[in-house]
Amino acid sequence: MRAISRRRPGPTGEEPGGGREARQHLGRAAWAMMRPYRRRVGLALVAVAGALATTLAGPALVEYLINQGLVDHHSMRVVDIAGGAYLAVAAASFALTRWQTSLLSGTGELVLNDLRKRVFGHLLAQPMSFYDSESSGQLLSRMTADIDTLESLVQSGIGTFVMSVGLFFTSVVVLIAISPPLFVATAACLVPIVAASARYRTASTKAYRAVRLRIGDTVSSLDEGLAGVRVIQAFRRERAVGEDFERRNADQLEAELHTVRLASVFFPKVEGTGVLATAAILLVGGAFVHLHLTSIGAVAAYVLYVGNLFNSIQSLSQLFDLLQSSGAALSTVATLLDTHPTMTDPDDPLPLPGSGPLQLDDVHFAYDGERPVVTAVGLRVHPGEHLVLVGPTGAGKSTLAKLVGRLYDPSSGTIRFGGVDLRSASIAGLRQRIVVVPQEGFLFRGSVLDNVRIARPGAREEEVHRAVEALGLSDRFSELPDGLLTEVGERGSHLSAGERQLVSLVRAALTDPAVLVMDEATSSVDPGTGRWVETALAHLTAGRTTITVAHRLTIAERADRVALIDGGRLVEVGAHDELVSAGGPYAELFAAWQGTPEPAG
């Protein structure tokens, strides 16, 4: 078994490497994908067997025609019959080859269609921690470049591949059956080809994997550049970002050129050896005819069979590039599909109650499993209470909020709602009870209405209107050109940041959760829209358990209680006024925020 030549970190970056194990893994992955279409595959194999039989019959008819029609009997009738049969067999071979190609390629297209759906569904099912370690460009390249490579194999190579493999093995058997000594001469020519193929395979497997990685890097750079184009232009980083892209593009070119160099040495070798083999057969075969060891017809048939053998090697060699890159593509896609989501529903999920306290007990968390970001946090949030998390930047406030929304699971400790551990509930049930409203509301292309409805796809239009009304936003939304039917553009680009926040608040209202977890929503909004956001928030949070990550302390003054987080620990918790009069760390932070120096003593 070959050693794994290169590994890179990350769940999808784990390459199965070369060797038998990797091939078995690939074989299993390919078979699992084809299973639903096994009837079509079975039919295609019948067509392949028929096409092979007709291809092999051709040279046998030539032998019969030469020996029986020309050399032994000079019979025109035999020539006519054998010639006619040759034509019929060639026509049948053509029809069967077409049939098997269309069956196999059609099946391949169906498999790829399934694969695209599976990969995207799989990515959507991954928890946040998966996206912390994966670059979106690499993932995009799985969906585009890798699946496109498989597409090329399916469209142009799969039928030829199956046919050539069949032709190779059957030709070897027939050649041995016709004349073992002549086969020895043929095999002598095959040895260097087999050795060169083995070397080419090792080198090109590595080279094509490198190409796949480089393509992923280029797509990553492109993806990041396009997503951050506003920042790039604002800070005049076009040149630096362009140079970074050029570097990655040049690396990709180098990797691609390496595969071209390998191919340009290997293919002419195969071609040249085929010519050598034919010359050897003619020489040795001619000598055998003189010595009456074989017939002229048999030598002619032999040359045709050797032609078939080398044609199949030639076709397989030409497909080698495609097979290598498809194998590498399939292996990265299969490895991605092998990563199981770490956050799954329990076997018997418990329902979360409609209301209840939120209880955190000795919660610890580290993103990378090593550096603690949340340490020993214990906290009880009462039903209907508004708790505000405050603390210096990087203290772990947002992380704690994400743990409560179960975007991540604690490394140890428990978070319960209404007495039920969040990990014992189904994820769908949890997302109905606890809703996380991010600071930047992400909108999809479509209308405002469509975007609100992603919170509850079955919601009727009146229900959306009621949610808008409940937040006191009817007048604000009617100012939009087409009201709720206004198209928001890609990522909501036709709306202002504040309007996007209003849409995410209506989404939360439509879900009507028991607990709302939010990043302070008013920070990036103009004062006019800010007032609408304040109104909507007042309606949304009234009587609802709410945890807000605050960046400005005005919000803390209005909350029921404040929890001060520092260095991932809960330092102080209590009502704003109590904490200020206690004169502890929160009082210091508040005083600093107000810009008032602390009284001496």
The site for ligand ATP (CB under 6 A) is made up of 132, 367, 373, 391, 393-399, 549, 551
How far, rounded to the nearest angstrom, does the alpha carbon of residue 240 sit from its chain's CA centroid? 29
Please identify, using beta-carbon distances, which residue of 142 and 397 lies nearer to ligand ATP: 397
For residues 337 and 242, give the distance between their C-alpha atoms in angstroms, rounded to a whole number: 33
Cα–Cα dist 339/321, whole Å = 28
Residue 595 bridge partners (DSSP): none
Sheet holding 358-365, edge to edge: 374-381, 358-365, 412-417, 420-421
Find tokens 């490198």 and name the residue. 210
Nearer to ligand ATP, 128 or 283 (CB): 128
Toward ligand ATP, which CB reaches closer, 393 or 594? Answer: 393
> Least distance from C-beta 15 to ligand ATP, angstroms?
24
CA 550 to chain CA centroid, nearest Å: 36
Judged by CB, which is closer to ligand ATP: 15, or 520? 520
Give whichever of 373 and 556 is closer to ligand ATP, judged by the CB atom. Answer: 373
Amino acid symbol at 419: G
CB 54 within 8 A of CB 114: no
With H, G, I as helix, E, B as strand and everything else as coil, classify residue 193.
Answer: helix
How many other CB atoms are there within 10 angstroms of residue 151's CB atom?
Answer: 17
Least distance to ligand ATP, CB of residue 461, Å: 36
Element (H, E) at 360: strand 358-365
Residue 442 near residue 491 (C-beta atoms within 8 A): yes
Which single residue is written with the structure tokens 């048939």? 301
End-to-end CA distance of the chain: 75
Give the residue with the Cβ less far from ligand ATP, 309 or 521: 521
Of 21 and 132, the one with the shorter C-beta distance to ligand ATP is: 132
Distance from CA of residue 91 to its chain's centroid? Answer: 43
For residue 185, give every residue at least 6 positions away whose Cβ sits within 8 Å of its Cβ, in sequence order, or none.
277, 280, 281, 284
**What SS3 string covers 480-511?**
CCCHHHCECCHHHCCCCHHHHHHHHHHHHHHH
Least distance to ligand ATP, CB of residue 551, Å = 6
Distance of CA 214 to the CA centre of its chain: 16
Q: Compute the least distance from the CB of residue 392 to ligand ATP, in Å.
A: 7
Question: Closer to ligand ATP at the Cβ: 157 or 396?
Answer: 396
Q: In the complex with ligand ATP, which residue's Cβ is closer, 12 or 398?
A: 398
Q: Which amino acid is at 153?
A: L
- In whole angstroms, give the CA distance from residue 396 to residue 398: 6
Q: Which is nearer to ligand ATP, 307 or 567 (CB)?
A: 567
To the nearest whole angstrom, how small is the minimum distance from the Cβ of residue 11 to ligand ATP?
15
CB of 380 to ligand ATP, least distance (A): 21
- Phi, psi (5° rounding) for residue 215? -60, -45
Contact 136, 352 (CB under 8 A): no
Q: How far is the CB of 44 from ligand ATP (least distance, A)?
A: 47
CB neighbours of 413 closer than 8 A, spacing ≥ 6? 360, 361, 362, 363, 364, 376, 377
Rounded to the nearest whole angstrom, what is the least distance from the CB of residue 570 to ligand ATP in the complex? 12
Query: Which CB, 252 or 398, lies closer to ligand ATP?
Result: 398
We find the least distance from the C-beta atom of residue 492 to ligand ATP, in angstroms, to be 22
Q: How far is the CB of 234 from ligand ATP (least distance, A)?
A: 21
- Amino acid letter for position 521: A
Output the smallest distance, CB 20 to ligand ATP, in A. 37
- Tell me whether residue 396 or residue 418 sits nearer to ligand ATP (CB atom): 396
Closest approach, Cβ 516 to ligand ATP, in A, equals: 17
Cα separation, 51 vs 46, whole angstroms: 9
User: Alpha-carbon distance 328 to 322, whole Å?
Assistant: 10
* Amino acid present at 387: L
In whole angstroms, the minimum distance from the beta carbon of 474 to ligand ATP comes to 33
Three-state helix/strand/coil letters over 371-430 = CCCEEEEEEEECCCCEEEEECCCCCCHHHHHHHHCCCCCCCEEEEEECCEEHHHCCHHHH
Of 47 and 395, the one with the shorter C-beta distance to ligand ATP is 395
Please provide the size of the chain in residues.
Answer: 601
CB 374 to ligand ATP: min, Å: 8
Nearer to ligand ATP, 77 or 552 (CB): 552
